[in-house]
Structure 1
């Protein structure tokens, strides 16, 4: 990026502070209207509750504020990279998302989106995409070199359902191919992807791993959600809790997450809250 382009990016910080959420909300609406197949990749529950647009707005703002030295964001980008690899995000996704982002900037800012500003954001996004692709390439390479490791979605079968309480059910997940599974670190999580007939979509959601590494299976504990249950996140948990039985298959990603310390809490707490790791809650 040129010095002038960096100055243009920094000049948009006040706009992002005021209208960043408007921009990212428009962006996601644009993405899903033009490329509805991406609804199978994104957690639509985080679209429903507004967390995904809000998280992206904060990320774009942080990037603009640190455009002179994006390396200060490497810790955050690494955490995002873990989440992306759990969802099988690939380099080609960045090209598609980049086109939607630049178009959204033009559509939301209108006449203020000068050709020079759009060129600057195109260069800035390209720099960010290169950083993320590099981080994720390293993560993918590390995942496949582990004993029992893989990338993308691997079919698993539920071999045991254990009622931990009246509200929490533990699922023991074994690979369909009967191979080994990669060891996980404390605080790491899996992405589980399943088909929700209510939405006619494949949907992912993250769950902390609740068993010790054993090379054979993973355990997740799923809480039955009460109250308003039309949320996609609640639909996924309730489907796992009430519908999925022993012998059913699920698609599972390799363990990811960079939380160094596991927090010991009672089993009554749902697995998505056990590890103290916020990454499965962030876009």
Structure 2
């Protein structure tokens, strides 16, 4: 519950504050003793029956306002504007004891030093909520535009990737396709020794292929006769493998195209709803 400060209550606070020089007279030794200053604030809090934090805050506000009023009075003196008027703030005269506390130390800038500390504290208290500014409409709009641009670039990259794969697919001949099939099959095997053995047999087959072993009239032993049946069977198997791999790559291409188109449709749909 917020504390209501009446004029009488404020005057009582000023009197209690004045009775504790260690809180405002920086010329005395106890002024730098935080424990004693804390005890002094606690005593004022108990007399007024107001929480110590509220007492400290109110005193801070009074001292800050007093400093401002003093600067106004000093400005009127330096400009030579005629007769000096009394300050209209009702608490200025009751707080003039602060000037005594500022000069008894013999330092001309003591009051200014105390004032600067108070102003710094007040500035910190006032600026604290501004650390998390609310986003305005312009910021939100710019953010949405950046997000849309990022989404557009992402979709464009997907479409470029799909087109690149399609172009690569058109450039491939049956040997490229079959080579990819062999590579995919080898990758699916987790046993390194089995892969090594498979590579060995594949290399042997390629060697025999180059030597004419699998030609229509491949090399034969002296007692053997050429036979087209094994070669026909092998050719059929190879064509079946090529057909299977071609279908698999076509399905992969279609899946990539469908995914790119779906992303584009979703993006355009989001654009139309905003």
Q: Provide TM-score, normalisation by structure 2.
A: 0.22
| Structure having greater relative contact order (Cα 8 Å, sep ≥ 6) | 1
Higher-Rg member (1/2): 2
More helix by share: 2
Larger strand fraction of residues? 1
TM superposition score normalised by structure 1: 0.21
